[in-house]
Amino acid sequence: MFAVTILGNNSAIPTLDRHPTAQIVTCDEQLLLVDCGEGTQLRIAQYRIKRSKIRYIFISHLHGDHYFGLIGLLNTLNLMGRTEPLSVYAPPELEPIIQLQLDCSGTQLHYELSFVPLQPGYSGIILEDKDLTVSCFPTQHRISCFGFSFTMQKKKRKLLPEQAKAYEIPAAYYGKLQDGADYMRKDGTVVKNDWVTLPPAKGRRYVYCADTIYDPELLPWLRDADLVYHETTYLHDLEARAAERYHSTTVQAASLAAAAAAKRLLIGHFSSKYTDLQPFLEETRPVFAATDIAEEGVTYYV
C-alpha cells in the first residue's frame, strides 16, 4: 500500500473545521509524517492512525502552521512509552527549539530522536529504507522551504510460484530468486531467474510541494509523478497577493501539474478566508482535470 492521508488542509490561521498542514504517507507497514501543524496528534488519534508506527517525520519549513504540533507529538509518544527510534528531517533551526523545550521540562526521551538537518537549497536523496526512497528539493517561499518526493519501488522481483514448483526449486530458495539469482539444479542445469520471476512492479511516486510561489523550476521534480500535492492558498483572482506572500493559486498549481504530465493533483493549504472550497475545483479542473481537494481524513492512493 502506498497512500497519503490528509490530516490538515488549511493555511496558517486555523479554523474550526480545517486544520494546519499535516499528512501521513503510508508505505506498506511504514508510516511517515509530513509536516505537523498544531493539533496534529489529535487528528492522528481521531483517524485512528497508529502513531507508534511513525518512523520518519519531514518538516518542510519553520512557519508555525507546519511544525507547532511536533513538540506535543514527540512528548506524547514519550508518555505513551515509545522506545523505537524516530528521525526528523527539518531545517536545522528546529533542533534547538525542540531541545530547549525538552530541557526546560526536565524531559528524558525514552526513544532515540535524531535530527537530519536540511540545509537551505539542498536537493537530493535524504532517505532510503526498504522499498522507499525520499528526496527533498527547495521550493521558493519566504523562508527556507522544502518539497519532498516519495518513491516506492519494490526492490524484489515478483516470484511465479507455479513455475518455480515446476522446476522443482525448493521454497527455501525463493528469497534468492526474488533477489534475482538463477538456480542450479543437482544435475548442473541452470534455471534462469527470469523463467520463474517477473521484474518488480514499476515504482510509484508522490511529490509534496509544501508552500511555494508559482515556480516552473519545480517541473523536473513533478515530471510524470503519480500524485502531486501542490498548495493553492488562493483562488485565481488573488494571483498578485499569492506572489507577494510566496504562495500559489489554483490555476498556477494546475498549470504545473499539466506541464509536468503528472497523473493526479491534490490541492490544499487553503486560506482561512475561504469557507466554500468548490471554487478551487472549478478553477483547477479546466486546466488539469485529475484534480481533487485534499480532504481531511481522506486517504488517497498513489
Known catalytic residues are 65
* Residue 236 assigned ligand-binding role: no
Give me the phi and psi of 83, to 5 degrees please. -125, -15
Between CA 298 and CA 57, with CA 235 as vertex, the angle to 5 degrees is 40
DSSP characters over 145-160: EEEEEEEE---SPEE-
> Contacts with a copy of itself: how many residues (CB under 8 A)?
35
In the bound complex, what is the minimum distance in angstroms from residue 73's beta carbon to a copy of itself? 9
Position 45 contacts a copy of itself (CB under 8 A): yes
Pick the stretch among 74-82, 150-158, 213-221, 226-234 that binds a copy of itself (CB under 8 A). 74-82
Q: How far apart are CA 78 and CA 85, in angstroms?
A: 11
* Residue 65 assigned ligand-binding role: yes
Which residues ranging from 53 to 72 are in contact with a copy of itself (CB under 8 A)?
A: 62-64, 68-69, 71-72
- When the beta carbons of 64 and 216 are compared against a copy of itself, the nearer one is 64
Strands 132-139 and 291-293: unpaired
Q: How far apart are CA 197 and CA 161, in angstroms?
A: 8
Q: Which of 91, 138, 147, 268 binds a copy of itself (CB under 8 A)?
A: 91
- When the beta carbons of 121 and 188 are compared against a copy of itself, the nearer one is 121
Q: How far apart are CA 96 and CA 92, in angstroms?
A: 8
Q: Which of 52, 83, 105, 153 binds a copy of itself (CB under 8 A)?
A: 105
Pick the stretch among 13-21, 113-121, 157-165, 259-267 that binds a copy of itself (CB under 8 A). 13-21
* Residue 269 assigned ligand-binding role: yes
* Residue 211 assigned ligand-binding role: yes
In the bound complex, what is the minimum distance in angstroms from residue 280's beta carbon to a copy of itself? 21
Q: In what order do the strands lie in the sheet with 113-117?
A: 113-117, 86-90, 54-58, 30-36, 22-27, 2-8, 299-301
Position 39 contacts a copy of itself (CB under 8 A): yes
Strand partners, 86: 113
Position 88 contacts a copy of itself (CB under 8 A): no
* Residue 35 assigned ligand-binding role: no
Radius of gyration of the chain (CA): 22
Q: How far apart are CA 268 and CA 22, in angstroms?
A: 11
Q: Which of 38, 211, 231, 296 binds a copy of itself (CB under 8 A)?
A: 38
Q: How far apart are CA 63 and CA 121, in angstroms?
A: 17
* Residue 103 assigned ligand-binding role: no
Position 231 contacts a copy of itself (CB under 8 A): no
Q: Which helix or strand (DSSP H or E) is residue 227 part of?
A: strand 227-231
Pick the stretch among 25-33, 51-59, 98-106, 204-212 that binds a copy of itself (CB under 8 A). 98-106
Which class for 186: exposed (0-12), middle (13-18), buried (19 or more C-beta within 10 A)? exposed
Helix ranges restricted to H, 48-160 = 70-79, 94-104
* Residue 129 assigned ligand-binding role: no
Binding region: 61, 63, 65-66, 141, 211, 269
Binding region for Zn(2+): 61, 63, 65-66, 141, 211, 269
Question: Residue numbers of the site for a copy of itself (CB under 8 A)?
Answer: 12-16, 38-39, 41-42, 45-46, 62-64, 68-69, 71-72, 75-76, 79-80, 91, 93-94, 96-97, 100-101, 103-106, 142-143
